[in-house]
Amino acid sequence: MRNFFQKILILFTGNNYPEATQNEFYQWLVDEDHASQKEDALRELWNKAQRQKNVKGMQKSYERLKKQEGIPTVPKERRIRPIHIWQSAAAILFLLLASSVYLSTVGTKAETDLLQQYIPIAEMRSLTLPDGTKVQLNSKSTLLYPHEFTGDSRSVFLLGEANFKVKPDKKRPFIVKSNDLQITALGTEFNVSAYPESQEIATTLISGSIRVDYN
């Protein structure tokens, strides 16, 4: 079964699909059916992608060294460009883990109905969350949020970059979870940048106050 899921994941991450197809794939991925098998297959895919990324880095270092030392490069008849899938794997892994954590921590059926917004390259989109919070979602970003906030907090999951204008609610803090960061706000405006290809996560406070916790 895991090999079957791996084939699906490799097929998806190795090709470009329309936004509608990507949304359908994400919905299938975060579905509870066969969740453990999907996660196992995805982790294995992620590990392979990381190894591929490390090999590419070593090749670049070697090419720089040859250039510095004046070592001639043997011409090649054909160069095969590998498919690098680590960025897509990171995004999918994030969505799968975020949804599994969310489903395990909420107590009502309404909040387990997760919605997902994915913004393609060179696009931006504005949306209003169920509580009235305004979100500006930037290019190559994904936001996961419930159909309705019914618990004692308002949690969303972000991969990429977004600006949040939070609807004030002192009884229910607004929480943005991204990788190892958790940003908590009551009523404020802030920006979060957490792209999988970047080694840094940046949080910019525009107004009000926030609390940043490291998991």
Whole-angstrom Cα distance, residue 82 to residue 12? Answer: 15
What average pLDDT does the segment 70-98 reach? 44
Fold classified for 107-214: Jelly Rolls (2.60.120)
pLDDT digits (tens, 9 = 90+) for 153-191: 898 988 889 999 999 998 899 999 886 778 998 678 999
pLDDT digits (tens, 9 = 90+) for 15-42: 455 666 555 666 656 555 656 666 666 5
- CA geometry: angle at 63 spanning 59 and 64, to 5°? 120
Q: For residue 112, is pLDDT > 60?
A: no
pLDDT digits (tens, 9 = 90+) for 43-58: 665 556 555 544 444 4
